[in-house]
Structure 1
Amino acid sequence: MTQPARVQIGASDLRIAPLALGGNVFGWTADRDASFDVLDAFLAGGGDFVDTADGYSHWAPGHTGGESETLIGEWLTARGNRDDVVIATKVSTHPAFAGLAPDNVRAAAAASLARLQTDRIDLYYAHFDDEETPLEETVAAFSGLVDDGTVRAIGVSNYSAERVAEWFRIARDGGYHLPVALQPHYNLVERDFETNGLRAEAEREGLAVFPYFSLAKGFLSGKYRAADDATAAGASPRAGEAVGYLDDRGRAVLDALDAVASAHQVPVAAVALAWLRLQPTVAAPIASARSTAQLPALLDSITLELSAEELTSLTAASA
């Protein structure tokens, strides 16, 4: 197996293969055994970066949040491979730890460490902006976690460009640790990131960008070609949202993906992820897998190189 080139997460000392495995499905649509199988296969396939959040999967009936972290922690302990994996998690959406007040951030980090069965969080995100808490307090709290060794690096997710810039201003003025990563909604059919100021901010500050919904809730995997595909056996819980992209533009994107995938003899999903990985500021797309059968397409994207002409054709189709 060809080992993927590793990328640095911003100005941190963290280096990863250029694909993040999304942990949102663990304990939700993937049970313990399936989650362990996916994690094992991801590492065996050259991946080493797992992205989760303390709130996953509180939205599911009977769940309270923390299910994903708990399974990842059990897997890390069972495999004894903590030093081989970079773990990113987030705070603000767990029902018991909502928001970004300083005491809550510290308590949530401690709870995440316990669930993950580890002594440090490699990359810790502010998951959603909390405008009820002064940003100065949140910035100081995150920096304090780095000072005490609980967190190795800081990230921000779902923030506006203006609020990201404000975080940096506050951090510099206060002598606090700066963020190194940004997690926005971005993919081949959701391209606001390019024009809403976030990409410019990432370029300005040297942020490593990790887009979520990289496959547009499954649409860019190519498995949803008609509206009734959303109700087919095995469709994901987000299939109904995925088929929402089935307009003229969406079909043009699928046609362009099909052509490139055929040329390289790889799955459509691999091409969509490779396009995203090759965009300015992007360090690695985030994609999840409910089963090992879904993993090869994701892993293929790590080493897939697209020509300038192929990149142009995909970009034009989604314009």
Structure 2
Amino acid sequence: MTKSATRVIGKSGIEIFPLAFGGNVFGWTADEQRSHELLDRFTEGGGNLIDTADSYSEWADDEHVGGESETIIGSWLRGRDRSSVVIATKVAKYSKRPGLSPANVAAAADDSLQRLGTDYIDLYYAHEEDPNVPIEQTAQAFDDLVKAGKIRAIGVSNFSAEATEAWLKASRDNGWAEPVAIQPHYNLVHRNDYEEHLAPLAARENLAVLPYWSLASGFLTGKYREPVEQGDSPRAGAASKYAVPAGLAIIDQLDEIAKAHQTSIATAALAWLLAKPQVVAPNASASRVDQVAGLLAVGDVELTADEVAELDKVSTWAH
């Protein structure tokens, strides 16, 4: 990881390469051996932030029970320098540990630590809001984990601006550790939710932004230029829904910019995100080792102001 490429997760001081490797594929489209190879390639290439969740990949099918991704990361971590990587995981969506009650947050964190084979989590996200639990209780539960040394920093994923502000207020009113990061759904074909509601809050509070679905289920790789059947691959149907004239115009613009930088369409799409204020590391995954280099290349690509403006303009339909 070159110093020039390094970003910091908000006020936490945690330094990261500007890409989070998505662990949703571990135990799903990548078995344990392949997952280890992917992680090797990612870290050998300078990456250090690995993103997962306790629920991955429970949603895949009946054979997946959750915890697979964390377990695979844990087996890969064994014998390695723990301080050389930054591990982000999440609580709330796992059917065995649902919600954000204090008891569940504490138990889920311990479960994640055991699966990961580590004694601390670098960035612990609340994976979604829990309307059944007062935000003050959740905020205190996360603060307890910080005080216990089990987590280094707090993040929120899929939270509204209002819920995020409520957590920040509860933390400040009580002297608890505050969230330093948000993980929204944000990319060139899905802009409105984040830019209108969360971006102003992130700027005001200096929250690090680590978008998920950064490549729109693969559409922003340029691979899907026409609708395909869902059965063609686990992600094909989700990606190809964007293969309409307005979406393909974005791909054409990305293609032009990618050629100018001698890089891939996917790298250009990630570079657009990194050009946005507060964005420190888009989340992207790969199922093949040969795909990892294209993700890591984002550390060496910086779009010009004109290129960012061109992509902003062509993607306004996403609003």
Does residue 311 (structure 1) correspond to residue 308 (structure 2)? The answer is yes
Q: Secondary structure at the match of 1:266?
A: coil
Aligned counterpart, 1:104: 104
2: CA distance between counterparts of 1:229 and 1:17? 35
Q: Secondary structure at the match of 1:246?
A: coil
**Alignment deviations for residues 264-315 of structure 1 (CA, whole Å, 9 cap, x no partner):** 1211100000101111110110000111111111111121011111111111
2: CA distance between counterparts of 1:268 and 1:229? 23
Report the number of matched residues.
315
Q: Secondary structure at the match of 2:12?
A: coil
Aligned counterpart, 1:257: 254
Relative to structure 1, is the Cα distance of residues 142 and 2 closer, same or farther in structure 2, using a 3 angstrom cutoff?
closer
Q: Is the 8 A contact 2:181 2:208 kept in 1?
A: yes
Q: Secondary structure at the match of 2:10?
A: coil
Q: Is the 8 A contact 2:157 2:184 kept in 1?
A: yes
Does residue 296 (structure 1) correspond to residue 293 (structure 2)? The answer is yes
Aligned counterpart, 2:205: 205
* Residues 231-310 of structure 1: pairs in structure 2 closer than 5 A: 232=232, 235=233, 237-310=234-307
Aligned counterpart, 1:73: 74
**Which amino acid in the other structure matches residue 275 of structure 2?**
L
Deviation at 1:2, TM superposition (A): 6.0
**Alignment deviations for residues 32-69 of structure 1 (CA, whole Å, 9 cap, x no partner):** 11100000000111100000000000112211110000
Q: Is the 8 A contact 1:135 1:167 kept in 2?
A: yes
In the TM superposition, structure 1's runs of 4+ consecutive aligned residues that sit over 3 Å from their partners are 1-4, 193-196, 228-232
Deviation at 1:5, TM superposition (A): 2.0
Q: Is the 8 A contact 1:224 1:230 kept in 2?
A: no
Q: Unaligned regions of 5+ residues in structure 1, if any?
A: none
2: CA distance between counterparts of 1:172 and 1:119? 27
TM-score, normalised to structure 1, is 0.96
2: CA distance between counterparts of 1:29 and 1:146? 33
Q: Unaligned regions of 5+ residues in structure 2, if any?
A: none
**Which amino acid in the other structure matches residue 141 of structure 2?**
A
**Which amino acid in the other structure matches residue 98 of structure 1?**
P
Aligned counterpart, 2:165: 165
* Residues 1-319 of structure 1: pairs in structure 2 closer than 5 A: 4-60=4-60, 61-78=62-79, 80-228=80-228, 232=232, 235=233, 237-319=234-316
2: CA distance between counterparts of 1:188 and 1:131? 30
Relative to structure 1, is the Cα distance of residues 193 and 228 closer, same or farther in structure 2, using a 3 angstrom cutoff?
closer
Relative to structure 1, is the Cα distance of residues 9 and 2 closer, same or farther in structure 2, using a 3 angstrom cutoff?
closer
**Which amino acid in the other structure matches residue 29 of structure 2?**
T
TM-score, normalised to structure 2, is 0.96
